[in-house]
Amino acid sequence: MLGQSREAKRKELIRIVETASSTGFDVIVLDSERVVDDLHPADVEAAARFSEDVGGPVIVPTVPVRRGDFSSLLPRYLEILSRRDSMGLCIVAGNPAYLSAEEASIRPGRLLWSACSAAGEVLNGRLMLLGTENVENVSRRICRSLGCTAFLLLDEGVEEEARRFADSSPRGVAVYAPFYIGDGVSGEAERVLVSYARRRKRLVGALGGGSPGLREACRVSIVGSVGEAAERIAGLASSGVRLLVGFPAELSLEQVGKLALAARMGWRKG
């Protein structure tokens, strides 16, 4: 969504950091699992440096441990993290949809342990997110042992899942949630929300394997007025969620601003 060329991605990321800073966000997570979509680590560092200069959010790139370039990508980010206080790291197994068959066949447990251990030594208490989807058991053990923040995806029953992880994630739980705040849902936003819902295994299971539509997608996203979004966020906060990572179903400054308002209201209630 940042653009096709390296230069376009770098410029757009800086613009988003500037917007997030003025809106009051604490964190930007760079959710990129395809090699072709990745930002160059040097450009991520440039965005972090800019964020430091303007008093902006912490920048958190994502590293999938099963991807073929993991062994070179992680050391590059660890080097950057050692000199940038305004960065964290998100470590994930890697979604099979974005991996080759060979990469997807790799068992991620040992790689997650080693990556989190190495990153923890460099981060020294700064934000370290650990993706939990399909690796819940090992993630719980890693969070308990290394102090990672469990990073869940908004799905059916996420509140109960957050409570289960809260005991092993002393820094609280983070949740990734697509959102659309406003009256009605536009065509493109509906496509994004429904596409996300169709990948959520617990929702699909609750539907007996059926294909979710917009109505069902609203169960695994934050949709509605600012007040309704705030109520949903308050419910997440009361279940142990301490960080909400929102993905805009419609990429606009208006949507980002509405999420900031709803989050402030929701945290106060939760």
Residue 203 placed within a domain: no
* pLDDT tens-digit series, residues 155-212: 999 999 999 998 888 788 999 999 999 988 878 999 999 999 999 999 999 999 889 9
Residue 208 placed within a domain: no
* pLDDT tens-digit series, residues 88-122: 999 999 988 889 999 999 999 999 999 999 999 99
Residue 41 placed within a domain: yes
Residue 107 buriedness (CB in 10 A; 0-12 / 13-18 / 19+): exposed
Looking at residue 210, what is its pLDDT? 87
Residue 52 placed within a domain: yes
- Cα separation, 236 vs 76, whole angstroms: 34
Element (H, E) at 151: strand 149-153
Looking at the DSSP bridge assignments, the partners of residue 179 are: 222, 248
* Phi, psi dihedral angles at 177 (to 5 degrees): -145, 125
Question: Looking at residue 4, what DSSP letter applies?
Answer: S
Residue 248 placed within a domain: yes
Residue 220 placed within a domain: no
Per the CB < 8 A criterion, the answer to whether 187 and 181 are in contact is: no
Render the burial of 143-178: b for 16+ CB within 10 Å, e for the rest. beebbbbbbbbbbbebbebbebbbebbebebbbbbb
Residue 217 placed within a domain: no
pTM of structure: 0.94
pLDDT band at 251 (very low <50, low <70, confident <90, very high): confident
pLDDT band at 48 (very low <50, low <70, confident <90, very high): very high
Look up the CATH number of the domain holding residue 262: 3.20.20.80
How many structural domains compose the chain? 1
Three-state secondary structure string covering 15-53? HHHHHHHHHCCCEEEECCCCHHHCCCHHHHHHHHHHHHH
**Domain containing residue 11:** 6-182+225-269
Looking at residue 83, what is its pLDDT? 93
Query: How far, in Å, are 110, 207, 214 from residue 148 at the CA level?
Result: 15, 32, 33
Residue 218 placed within a domain: no
